[in-house]
Amino acid sequence: MMTESSFPHDGGQMAETAPDGVLVMHPDRPRMKLRPLKAWHHFRELVKDKENTEEVFRIFESLPSRDLETRARNFVLSEAGERIRASEAYLPDILDDHAALRLLPEDSVAHAYLDFMESQGLTAAGLVAEYDKFIGDRPDYGDLFGWYLNRYRDTHDLLHVLTGYSRDALGEQCVLAFTHGQNGGMGNLFIAYAGALHMRNNGARGAPVVAAVREAQKQGKACPRIADMPIRELLARPLAEVRREFAITPPRLYQQCHDQWRAMGIDPFDLLAPAAAEPLAA
């Protein structure tokens, strides 16, 4: 399933390529390193503005998954990975083609995805733009490792739709916990639980926010890895059918938190607004 390219790698060895000649991992790509203190600094900045997506990317970069390179290699060199790359070279073009997606059945994942994105004023290209701001003038290595990472980024909002978690503070923590259940990665786990603990100490009013995050993590572990699936096919399927097949059940504890806050006159989407600039609890 692999060939050798002319790029030296790891002490003179030849860099690995896919059958079509595309590098699996460019030899000049820096290896990710674990930087927990840097991750903590960026989390403190994220607490000040939960919409600051750049800080999320920086946390992920500071807390890489140990098996990410192996997982990426196994996928991109598999027959399924090759088929998906041939049909889905760039997911944002597919996800942002609203006219084409609206032609799919009304009960499909695609319609639920469009309703969510349009109601929130979001686009897949917008998330890419945020990522590009974070990347800055770093080189584009054009390897399959980068393509695989981009699928994690580009399917994030699709996970909101499949799971039923919205874009409130707790909903974002839960989606990241779900993502960790699927893909691992200390960045997902760190933001999910650190965010939940911050909420518990700053306005959660006794709601089971940590338990809600744990519930999401378990669901993610039980669900097949979404980023490794053909997204075109997934979008065309009925949402209810997909949820049943993937064992995605209604987020009970997340909804319990929302119900509890609303009964107290608290808007779940503004839960942290008064405390947004306050320092984190020790």
Residue 138 has pLDDT above 90, yes or no: no
Share of the chain above pLDDT 90, in %: 70
Confidence (pLDDT) at 279: 32
Confidence at 271, pLDDT banded by 50, 70, 90: confident
Please list, in sequence order, all residues whose beta carbon lies within 8 angstroms of the beta carbon of residue 152, skipping any fewer than 6 positions away.
Answer: 179, 183, 227
Confidence at 11, pLDDT banded by 50, 70, 90: very low
Confidence (pLDDT) at 51: 77
Residue 280 has pLDDT above 50, yes or no: no
What whole-number distance in Å separates Cα of residue 148 and Cα of residue 161? 21
pLDDT tens track for 74-86:
999 999 999 999 9
Mean pLDDT of the region 98-111: 98
Confidence at 168, pLDDT banded by 50, 70, 90: very high
Which residue's structure tokens are 């460019």?
26
Confidence at 105, pLDDT banded by 50, 70, 90: very high
The answer to whether the beta carbons of residues 21 and 5 sit under 8 Å apart is yes
Confidence (pLDDT) at 137: 84
Instruction: Tell me if residue 206 falls in helix, strand or coil.
Output: coil
**What's the one-letter identity of residue 238?**
P
Mean pLDDT of the region 52-59: 86
What is the pLDDT of the chain when averaged over all its residues? Answer: 89
Residue 3 has phi, psi (to 5 degrees) of: -130, 175
- Start-to-end Cα distance in the chain: 51
Helix-helix angle 156-163:169-183, to 10 degrees: 100
Overall residue count recorded for the chain in this entry: 282
The helix (run of H) or strand (run of E) holding residue 238 is none
More confident call, 12 vs 88: 88
Please list, in sequence order, all residues whose beta carbon lies within 8 angstroms of the beta carbon of residue 105, skipping any fewer than 6 positions away.
Answer: 111, 236, 238
The answer to whether the beta carbons of residues 182 and 226 sit under 8 Å apart is yes
What whole-number distance in Å separates Cα of residue 22 and Cα of residue 19? 8
> From the DSSP assignment, how many helices (H) and strands (E) are in the chain?
16, 2
Instruction: Indicate the Cα dihedral angle 163, 168, 170, 176, nearest 10°.
Output: 50
DSSP 228: G
pLDDT tens track for 210-268:
999 999 999 999 999 999 999 999 999 999 999 999 999 999 999 999 999 999 999 99
Could you give the count of Cα atoms lying within 13 Å of 229 in the half-sphere of its Cβ? 17
Confidence (pLDDT) at 229: 97
